[in-house]
Amino acid sequence: MKNKRGYLSIVLHSHLPFIKHPEHEFFLEENWLFEAITEAYLPLYISFERLKREGVKFQLTMSITPPLISMLIDPLLMERYQRYLDSRLSFLRDEIRENKENAREKKILQFYLDRFEELNYFFDVKLNRDILSGFKKLQEQGFLEIITCTATHEILPLELNERIREVQVEVGIDAYKRVFGCAPKGIWLGECAYTNGVEKILANNGIKFTFLDTHGVLYAEPQPLYGVHAPIYSETGVAFFGRDPEASKQVWSAKEGYPGDFNYREFYRDIGYEISAEKVNKYLHPGGFRFDSGIKMHKITGNVPLDKKELYDREKAIETANTHAGNFMFNIEKEAEYLLSIMDREPIIVAPFDTELFGHWWFEGPDFIESLLRKIDKYSDKIETITPFNYLKKYPTNQLSLPAPSTWGDGGYFSVWLNEKNDWVYPHLYMMGKRMIELAEKIITPDNTVERALNQMGRELFLAESSDWTFLITTGTASNYSIDRVKFHINAFNELYEEVKNNIIDKNLLEFLEERDSIFPFLDYRVFRRKK
């Protein structure tokens, strides 16, 4: 019998912006999805399945955002992902045949071949190219609590139109229900962004809990007695859980945290930049364009130039991940013991992360998660894993307090998403929202073509509202693509608006937009009407 001291709640936030370019045979930014599936989503699913087969008891929370859901059920993108897998399998088989000299390199290539064959089996055979079905089953079996997100990860506090705020939540919940067959209990607010009033929208839509960065809970009014180690309730009954900074820091920080260990795989050196142009053309991109293949042969090694990195040792990396998992468990146990001494209940230690950290940025991340969950179940007599909703069932009485306006990310107060680089976006979004509501309330019985145009206007508005574009504009990562995407959606929306107003619809344009910007095929423009 465990003598529990507290609970660990791991929350994995799974999100990517909706990117689909059927007008191009290959499009570089579509690889963001393929990399995340290959390095994070499928490896984590395989780890969870392995733990389940072993009889390991665990509870873990995952958000899967509506844009990611839309991409993971899109036939074209899943067909292109299969092509992504097939190309790497072909490359690895040929490369192993050709590599007769270096036994260590051949061993690493064989590791990747085995890995890609396993990924291909799970994706194509076991899951029949339906990744979400696997996570859905894990939720039904009690291992996962899957939650939703605002429709396109919009920063709700920066949305001035109250009805658009509401629709972002309503459509996010609708997208979730259509895939998982039930209503979500929790929601991940885009960028954990909160301001007063958001809790009312969540409560009106049946949401029971959400998450904030540490300061969003610590600076609540009145100040929470237990800090971030117990949830607080708003007056509407929505519970807010705060991020535990110490637990997160051990994993997040590349300098102080585990991912920077010299035994782990080096992210910035990829074989796609080292093989011949002929091989790039044959296996990766018909035009010979070089980009990350996902096959990285070296370890971090130390603070040395990329050309001085040593070859990757998979066994040593797994051994290191197991050690780090044990260290993490030890630290959580000690924190829980201390907290229990000053609380009247077992504390909850909430550790939220971007899912893509585990596998993409930190290749061994899924191995760390798997080892941690196994160790906690088998060896810890002090902590258990739990989901926020199950913690609320155990402790339904919590402090009433109003959270502080906040975000996570650099600075913690919206500046990443609203600054001199991207502030030009928001007047357009505000006007688009007004126009969407105007036409939704004005047009009652449109013909089929006009109705399709109105629905597509809603999609273009949603896609323009994604927080990813303003984030990437700020960071300078893919900023040109992000600026182009925002401008594309603004222009597409405004063109459709004028066509609907004048009842002259360009069907070729409409069909092109429906195929490319195909997020939320179920969308009905009437959802934008204000509630009476």
Catalytic residue among 159, 166, 191, 213: 191
Q: Crossing angle of helices 42-54/103-120, nearest 10°?
A: 80
SS3 content of the chain, % helix, strand, coil (to 5): 55, 10, 35
The amino acid present at 353, given as its one-letter code, is F
Q: Which two tokens stand for residue 28?
A: 């570089």
334-338 long-range contacts (CB < 8 A, ≥24 apart) are 335/6, 335/244, 335/246, 335/247, 336/5, 336/6, 336/7, 336/8, 336/382, 336/383, 337/5, 337/6, 337/382
Our measurement of the distance from residue 420's CA atom to the centroid of its chain's CA atoms, rounded to an integer in Å, reads 27
Cα–Cα distance, 168 to 160 (Å, whole number): 13
- H runs (alpha helix) in 99-197: 103-120, 131-140, 162-180
Find how far residue 419's CA is from the centre of its chain. Answer: 24
Here the tokens at position 518 are: 């195909």
Annotated active-site residue in 105, 117, 313, 354: 354
Residues 6+ apart with CB under 8 A from 364: 264, 265, 317, 318, 320, 321
Catalytic residue list contains 468? no
**DSSP state, 239?**
E
Catalytic, 354? Answer yes
CB atoms near residue 25 (< 10 Å):
11
Quick one: tokens of 25? 């045979």
Tokens of 239: 């519970």
C-alpha triplet 326, 332, 337: angle, nearest 5°: 125
Say how far apart CA 209 and CA 186 lie, in whole Å.
5
**Tokens found for residue 377:** 């179940």
For residue 530 the two structure tokens come to 């204000």
Dihedral through CA 490, CA 494, CA 496, CA 502, nearest 10?
A: 180
The residues that are catalytic are: 191, 354
